[in-house]
Amino acid sequence: MNTDLTSSQKDYAIFLPALSSFYSTFVGKQRYPDPVKGIYVDPARIPKNMPFGVESGNWLEPAAGIWNYKWSLYSAGHASLELGNIAKEDMTRNRDRDNSWLLGDSGGFQIGKGKWE
């Protein structure tokens, strides 16, 4: 069952749930198994009510997510600065842009903590 939270919650201010880079890494690395290590998350660890595995929690992917929601917040401080196809970034870089929208915040906290040069 897929619940469309974008249309059902349209009479309110737009809420931007922060997309965890930790979770998006799980989704991306699951899409591209390591040739040596295999899949990233052992299927035995995924609840049975998640029919598409870790992808079931990907609200940016209407076809696989248990729910979908168009709007999200993503911290630039967690994003990879590398260009190209990076498995751990796949959930955000290769999403359906017609059905999803990301607001990138400045990453100011990470800059202030010295995580970036």
CA atoms of 48 and 40, how far apart (whole Å): 17
- Please report, in angstroms and rounded to a whole number, the separation of the first and last CA atoms in the chain: 45
> Which amino acid is residue 104, in one-letter code?
G
Residues of the chain below pLDDT 50: none
CA atoms of 90 and 113, how far apart (whole Å): 26
pLDDT score recorded for residue 117? 63
Residues whose CB is less than 8 angstroms from the CB of residue 52 and which lie 6 or more positions away in sequence, other chains included: 64, 65
pLDDT score recorded for residue 23? 85
Q: Which two tokens mark 10?
A: 């349209």
Instruction: State pTM to two decimals.
Output: 0.75
pLDDT score recorded for residue 115? 65
